[in-house]
Amino acid sequence: MKTLILTQRDVASILTMEAAVPAVERAFAAHGRGQAIMPAKVYLPLEDFGGDFRAMPAYFEGSAGVKWVNSHPGNPAKHGLPAVRGVFILSDPATAAPLAVMDATLLTAYRTGAAGAVASRALGKKGPKTLGLIGSGVQARVLLSAHRVVFQGLEVLCADKQADVAQRFAQQLGGRAVSLEEASACDIICTATPSRAPIVMREWVRPGTHINAMGADGPGKQELDPRILVDAMVVIDDWHQAVESGEVNVPLHTGAYAKGKIHATLGEVIAGLRPGRKGDEITVFDSTGLAIQDVALARVVFDAAKTRGIGQAVELVAGA
């Protein structure tokens, strides 16, 4: 059996946000029901190089795979390279044959954007009017794309510590560049920054707001004023990952927030095992990124590539 090699261009020609959102939603539901296998994410910190690698294995809906992905925030400025790049290996769980090796950079971006939109639909108010994007990088682009798949007619307000970056984002993708405070007053807020100190203050956030905290994906990272978490219904993607590296990790270690206040996982809410929003409370989705989301999208890409004859098949492993 040959292994299909799929480049980033191949993946880009196949993957759409319209396909990513339902696949990610199924992955969350399976995780909530305990129908997936997902060991803890493994971190390889590389402080001398200003970044880290993560290994993320999982099994979901008959597919097994692992993503090897980095986070090097200084890459764009230092090397003119993306901050996040990855490779995904999709395997046959019955025979261990490597079905495909593909670029995972787009998988990572699309599944993260889709996760935010899925959470907004599950936890946010019905009929939101405004979307605040805090951080105007690549991740904000896919978060916007995913929310436009799920919701119609959203007014988009974007903010960034670098005002010119937010202005370019607004001009290119539609919306209005505003201050951090104004973006924090939206019906839905998505934070996607590498911040290690709060950039959204409690007094800026209105009742009924839903917040997707997407940037905190490693120990010490933090985007929200801990008082927001104290006042909110907090929903996480995974218990182990969130308490160690999610938005709640810093407040938990400082004592500003208690683990017992975490309401549920998003998978539990989507699967109907735990209730979601009840009224006009603030809701927060603490996203660290699940390996089963990557497996779900990798399978979508692999199946479509086979159908459309995309990619290069090679004898990668003897006897595969």
CA separation, residue 169 to residues 137, 138, 145, 269 (Å) = 8, 10, 13, 33
- Catalytic residue, from 67, 161, 221, 278: name it: 67
Neighbours of 157 (CB within 10 A): 23
Distance CA 89, CA 275 (A): 35
- Find the DSSP H helices in 68-132: 75-79, 105-123
**Dihedral pair phi/psi, residue 133, rounded to 5°:** -105, 115
Residues 6+ apart with CB under 8 A from 267: 28, 29, 30, 31, 32, 33, 237
**Dihedral pair phi/psi, residue 186, rounded to 5°:** -80, 165
Neighbours of 250 (CB within 10 A): 22
Distance CA 182, CA 201 (A): 11
User: Is residue 67 annotated as part of the catalytic site, yes or no?
Assistant: yes
Distance CA 208, CA 283 (A): 7
189 HSE (CA, 13 A, CB side): 34
54 HSE (CA, 13 A, CB side): 27
**243 CA to centre of own chain:** 16
> Whose structure tokens read 């993306």?
82
- Asked if residues 59 and 93 have their Cβ atoms less than 8 Å apart, the reply is yes
Catalytic residue numbers read 67
